[in-house]
Chain A
């Protein structure tokens, strides 16, 4: 499929997973991500892969746990309420050091909320999400092509760190259509000697396990895990900056960043010195993007489709050097360019 085709975000993500070598998908229906399981149910049988519609998100993530134990590339996808249900399994996968890709096409919450897009699961995605001290690598695409590229990379990263990787999209990215190119590539080869595939009498049994009943052992295990998260912070930070020499920066990810590009153009057309910082990895968070502009930046405006979550990480990154303002919409509403621009101009007035 090397030619450009017009795809919905959800479909493109599913095909990208296939192109990255994923042949095992376990999911449960929930709007606005249904095209992912629907696409996989059509596509995987063509490739002699397996699609299972699980009885629940809880079961789906545990099927992923089983397939990942066998060392195969596997994925599950859901949207906010379903991701809450998967948290137990995700925590177990981190604890057992199993690779997988988990997709969250966020919708408005809390509770049943709305089926419209949201970014209200940032804390859940980046600060652990389930029980225990852990992190997921969290990738936040802002276009369908980037979603394709990051999804393919996610499988490699998951195996590299033996840790779940989350693609954090939202309903808008899942539902909108853009032309994309998806080029299959050979999966990178990572050590799978830990996988439980049967000893065939040739080695000692492998055990996939997150239980370390002795406190000393469990602490040692935790220290090892933290070492991996530290390596992610050292090696995997990704972000995009537009107009790094600007005085003011809009900060946002995913769909919001797309809206903010429009605002940057509007602002610059008015002669305002405005740039954009767009985190692509939400964990690890790109602190360096803020350090790089620290000497000349005068202020930051964080925009999210939430009541303010990533803004906390931005404040930690800016560390009091400059003011950080926030504009958010919730419940499935998308921020509008004119409102963002007004907030930006207000911030500029306060600083001067």
Chain B
């Protein structure tokens, strides 16, 4: 009997802690598939953030470093400078990258560090229990915006990809989503291009992946995917802000 579907070698054989319907699992799988296809697991060092994906070091079958909250791009910088021939990626959520770690992400991008950042944006703090993130949408109810996010008090949601794309030193910036099969395939293609960009020494690459949080959004997995599509994509348009010709 032919095998048509199996666990990528770059994922460990454990059950993840992610809630049913959470799309972190899909994104992990896409990265692992790319690592398999490029045959780079043996030379890859991944960086786990603080956030729901803090345990990512248990799931990727490669060397992993756990970083302090928001500091993954600085840790990636140190690793890449010491190991320029290895592949370094950070996996960061929106609290990590778009709030506490803004200085680190902006300056890793500004220096054009030859690293790959997978930015998982689910518009909420998952790990700590559903607090408002800088990426939470206006009127979105969270445990720290119980009346819905109000512009007068908290401004409008931050768009990291648009911001980082303005930096001349960035090589690849793209926003993708994993709310349906077609987009999952597109997301994988872009993640692969980001890793190739690093292998070709083109500089800083970041793929922002819109993701769901059924538990903290209070929605079923299907409803969560629909909410992402109906609410997040209009504010966070899926777009290749910058993709170098060399990786297309």
Asked if A and B form a direct contact in the complex, defined as CB atoms under 8 angstroms apart, the reply is yes
Contacts of A293 in B (CB 8 A): none
Give complex CA distance A56, B77 in Å.
Answer: 13
A173-201 vs B, CB cutoff 8 Å, 1 = contact: the mask equals 00000000000000000000000111111
Contacts of A69 in B (CB 8 A): 45, 65, 75, 78-79
Chain A CB within 8 A of B179 CB: no
A65-94 vs B, CB cutoff 8 Å, 1 = contact: the mask equals 111111110100000000000001100100
CB–CB A65/B57 < 8 A:
no
B2-18 vs A, CB cutoff 8 Å, 1 = contact: the mask equals 00000000000000000
Nearest A residue to B44 via CB reads: A198
CB–CB A67/B79 < 8 A:
yes
CB–CB B103/A92 < 8 A:
no
CB–CB A59/B83 < 8 A:
no
Chain A CB within 8 A of B66 CB: yes
B36-47 vs A, CB cutoff 8 Å, 1 = contact: the mask equals 000001111101
Give complex CA distance A317, B211 in Å.
Answer: 58
Chain A CB within 8 A of B67 CB: yes
User: Pick the contact of A24 from B44, B68, B81, B103 — CB < 8 Å?
Assistant: B81
CB–CB B63/A198 < 8 A:
yes
Contacts known (A24-B82, A26-B78, A62-B78); A196 close to B65, Cβ less than 8 A = yes
Contacts known (A196-B65, A205-B62, A208-B66); A55 close to B103, Cβ less than 8 A = yes
User: Pick the contact of A67 from B41, B57, B61, B82 — CB < 8 Å?
Assistant: B82
CB distance from B128 to the nearest CB of A (A): 14
Interface set, chain A 203-224, CB cutoff 8 A to B: 205-211
CB–CB B66/A209 < 8 A:
yes
CB–CB B66/A66 < 8 A:
no
The size bracket of the interface on A is 35 or more
Chain B CB within 8 A of A30 CB: no
CB–CB A207/B64 < 8 A:
yes
Chain B CB within 8 A of A341 CB: no
CB distance from B31 to the nearest CB of A (A): 14
CB distance from A89 to the nearest CB of B (A): 6
Chain B residues engaging chain A, CB cutoff 8 angstroms = 41-45, 47, 54, 57, 60-68, 71, 74-83, 86-87, 103-104, 106-107, 111
19 cross-chain CB contacts under 8 A: A54-B107, A55-B103, A59-B71, A63-B78, A65-B67, A65-B71, A66-B74, A66-B77, A66-B79, A88-B68, A196-B45, A197-B83, A198-B42, A198-B62, A198-B63, A198-B87, A202-B42, A206-B63, A208-B64
Chain A residues engaging chain B, CB cutoff 8 angstroms = 24, 26, 50, 52, 54-56, 58-60, 62-72, 74, 88-89, 92, 96, 196-202, 205-211
